Amino acid sequence: MVGITLKYVTLELIEKIIRLQNYINKHSYNNRKNNNVAVIKIFEKAISSLLVNIEKQIKEINELDNDSTPEEIYAIQRSLSTCYSAIKDLHKELHILNTDWLKLETYTFVEQIYKKHINGEENQDLNVILSDEYTFVETNMDTRFERIMQSFFDTQNSYTPEDSPTVIIPKIEYSNPLNWTILVHELGHLDEKKIRTLCESPGLFPNGLNIGEKDKLTNWAEEIYCDILAINIIGPAYFLSLASYALLQSLITGLEVSTNHHPPFAMRLALLHAYIDKNSQDLLTELPTGKEGSIHSFIYEMTSILNENVKHITDPTENEPLIKDLMDFVFHLNEELVEKGTVNKELGSIFELVEKLRIKVPIGGYRSTNGDNDLLKELKKDGLTTDEFSEIRNSLSDRNTELWEIINAGWVFKMNEFIPFGINLFFKNSKKSIDEKLNDYREKLDLLDDRLLVSIETSKLIDIIEN
């Protein structure tokens, strides 16, 4: 990691610290059932120590130049990795606080995605749970309890689990819609029929695989399928969200590490970037340039990092030959199984929505104002029929903004306005203390969260009224 990427990861860590503080303060001080005041002070002490370390890393990042050695850069990465591990460990301890709250907007987001794109059955309930672990997961809640319940039944009267689809999100992300995009990937795992069809496609797997290798590729195929599904449903915002999550995880594991269940982040992100480029999702390229930390500078460095890591993954001198076959396999996954969605949608509305966010206006409703003058002229004509009048009236009224529009506009605003502000605040402003900077950053973060949450519910309300 170099330059803007190190600064971006540091800002992501700062954001997680703010969200950790917000979760504790907003939901624990108001609930005295478990007398959490003493425990909260322990959290605050730990967070203060984290901030001291973060402040030190900001200073060291600012001292980097063209003569800096890889060892100096690696030392900063190690320190940031320690901070991220500490944040994850603190997140696990949130279970000792009585704070199991969920926002209505979270249900709105998840249910709309699930019913519109995954399962159209209106009677299918979907569970959303806050997790002590910093992780995004999909599971069948009933199945998780099957082993426990089986001990109460004999073989003649066994416990039979039913479908109980559940998504789990980290507690500190409860008010952050921009990272709920990862839940779209998790919901993709519920589309078992389509995944099974994908994995049974003739010629999908390379020849000569043993059972273990084929099982690994089957798991990888499902993960890549869910990535592409998420891009099609929610647009380029999923790439930005996954890239941010991957960069934080890479502080601990690296981008090139794979498991039997997940391909390397570098491979997944490289595939998604190529898929976006292939399908002309120009949201990532047609934005104003010039600010440090903007989408352009972030994507440029991310692409360089991905190319370097993918080269390492596929280098036959460093890995067994099978890895090259795995890359070929992943790049030839049958994308046609994924229904084309947002990829082919007009992204022009995003830029107007970003302008509304810039002036602190919620974006639950939208209409293009390009043709207003022509419509007003039509409205003044004599002899308009009722149908003609209704058509003009509807054209001059706001429609509900779709979820993918809200989330993409939010990410564009974050990358082109919010991150540059953070870089200037934390890396270039030496007059304020770290706590003062944190409060300034929190104020803008909370405002963005609030605008997006209000937008999601407003969009739902407009849709209900229209229908």
Q: How many whole angstroms separate alpha carbon 20 and alpha carbon 33?
A: 20
- Above 70 in pLDDT, residue 30? no
**Counting beta carbons within 10 angstroms of the beta carbon of residue 254, is it exposed (0 to 12), middle (13 to 18) or buried (19 or more)?**
middle
Q: Which residue has the higher pLDDT, 412 or 273?
A: 412
Q: How many whole angstroms separate alpha carbon 11 and alpha carbon 5?
A: 10
Token code pair at residue 440: 């300034």
Terminal-residue alpha carbon distance, the chain: 49
Question: Sorting pLDDT into bands at 50, 70 and 90, what band is 151?
Answer: very low
Q: What average pLDDT does the segment 347-370 reach?
A: 81
pLDDT tens digits along 113-140: 888 888 766 556 677 878 888 888 887 7
Q: What average pLDDT does the segment 266-293 reach?
A: 64
Q: Which residue has the higher pLDDT, 230 or 202?
A: 230
- Above 80 in pLDDT, residue 436? yes
Q: Are 197 and 221 in contact (CB under 8 A)?
A: no
- Above 80 in pLDDT, residue 88? yes
Return the top range by mean pLDDT from 31-35, 220-224, 252-256, 341-345: 220-224
Q: What average pLDDT does the segment 67-74 reach?
A: 88
Task: Give the residue among 417, 15, 401, 14 at the shortest CA–CA distance from 179.
Answer: 15
Question: Sorting pLDDT into bands at 50, 70 and 90, what band is 422?
Answer: very high
Q: Which residues contact 217 (CB under 8 A, 6 or more apart)?
A: 205, 206, 209, 326, 329
Q: Are 188 and 210 in contact (CB under 8 A)?
A: no
Q: How many whole angstroms separate alpha carbon 112 and alpha carbon 65?
A: 47
pLDDT at 155: 43
Q: How many whole angstroms separate alpha carbon 171 and alpha carbon 34?
A: 18
Residue 158 DSSP code: -
Q: Are 120 and 114 in contact (CB under 8 A)?
A: no
Q: What rounded mean pLDDT belongs to the chain? A: 77
Distance between alpha carbon 325 and the CA centroid of its chain, in Å?
29
Domain boundaries, the chain: 3-96, 104-344, 348-466
pLDDT at 120: 63
Q: Which residue has the higher pLDDT, 450 or 49?
A: 450
pLDDT at 215: 85
The total of other beta-carbon atoms located within 10 Å of residue 417's CB is 18
Q: How many CA atoms lie within 13 A of 176 on its CB side?
A: 25
Task: Give the residue among 391, 368, 367, 369 at the shortest CA–CA distance from 379.
Answer: 391
Query: Lowest mean pLDDT: which of 119-128, 225-234, 303-312?
Result: 303-312
Task: Give the residue among 415, 97, 152, 452 at the shortest CA–CA distance from 285.
Answer: 415
pLDDT at 16: 94
pLDDT at 437: 94
Q: Which residues contact 216 (CB under 8 A, 6 or more apart)?
A: 260
Give whole-number Cα distances, 278 to 44, 131, 286, 308, in Å.
Answer: 47, 36, 15, 21
Q: What average pLDDT does the segment 6-27 reach?
A: 89
Q: What average pLDDT does the segment 416-426 reach?
A: 90
- Above 50 in pLDDT, residue 152? no
Q: How many whole angstroms separate alpha carbon 236 and alpha carbon 401?
A: 17
Question: Sorting pLDDT into bands at 50, 70 and 90, what band is 27?
Answer: low
pLDDT at 308: 65
**Counting beta carbons within 10 angstroms of the beta carbon of residue 352, is it exposed (0 to 12), middle (13 to 18) or buried (19 or more)?**
middle
Write the DSSP assignment of 255-271 as a string of letters.
Answer: SS---SS---HHHHHHH
Q: What average pLDDT does the segment 41-64 reach?
A: 87
Task: Give the residue among 362, 353, 365, 452 at the shortest CA–CA distance from 401.
Answer: 365
pLDDT at 17: 93
pTM of the model: 0.79
Instruction: Give the CA-trace dihedral at 229, 230, 234, 240, to 10 degrees.
Output: -140
- Above 70 in pLDDT, residue 377? no
- E strand residue ranges, 105-192: 127-131, 137-140, 165-170
pLDDT tens digits along 188-205: 998 888 888 877 877 777
pLDDT tens digits along 156-215: 445 555 677 788 889 889 899 999 999 999 999 988 888 888 778 777 777 777 888 888
Residue holding tokens 């590729």? 217
pLDDT at 59: 92
Q: Which residues contact 52 (CB under 8 A, 6 or more apart)?
A: 434
Task: Give the residue among 225, 224, 228, 247 at the shortest CA–CA distance from 236.
Answer: 228
pLDDT at 257: 78
Q: What average pLDDT does the segment 251-272 reach?
A: 82
Q: What average pLDDT does the segment 88-101 reach?
A: 72
